[in-house]
Amino acid sequence: MAHHSAADGHINTLAELGALRKEWSLAGQKVVFTNGVFDLLHKGHVTYLASAARLGDVLVVGVNDDESVRRLGKGEDRPIVQESDRAAVVAALRAVDAVVLFGSDTPLSIIAALRPDVLVKGGDYDAECTDPHDPRYIVGSTEVRSEGGKVVTIDLVPGRSTTAIAQKLKGQDRP
């Protein structure tokens, strides 16, 4: 297992990630990358991250910063939990070895710097999709494959979403 840089809730910079990547490569460890908002962490998130971690030796997670979440259009009240807290909670999970916050619309800069062996997204994406304009396209998939890496999707846990939890909290889940 990788040295657990994120266990204390430490959030890595892109530069730190680059140095860690060198260590992991020298140790012959397979690096897995995924990303998301992880607002109101729930069973679906934890199951997904544990499954992603099993695809390699080291799991790096990109977490959207607050500004990029607002641009995703999930609702004016999102994110519910601020970026530093969301990143710390993800970093504390046993399956996660490193966390990096990002503010761009996509994690492409992280993927380019990290050069993961495996790129993972949820089952609402399509690993075979090659059209960057298709909402199911996985950003970074072309780059990862060109370096000999794999792109994998993991089925999401049905009925588990932050949006559903947020609606329940507001009492909007009732007819």
pLDDT at 5: 46
Report DSSP state, residue 11.
Answer: P
Burial of 156 by CB count in 10 Å (0-12 exposed, 13-18 middle, 19+ buried)? Answer: middle
Q: What is the pLDDT of residue 6?
A: 47
Domains identified in the chain and CATH numbers: 14-94+103-160 (3.40.50.620)
- Alpha-carbon distance values, 1 to 35, 54, 147, 159, 173 (Å): 20, 11, 23, 31, 41
Q: State yes or no: cis peptide before 107, omega within 30 of 0.
A: no
Q: How many angstroms separate the first and last alpha carbons of the chain?
A: 47
pLDDT exceeds 50 at position 13: yes
List, for residues 35-57, the tens digit of each pLDDT value.
Answer: 999 998 888 999 999 999 999 99
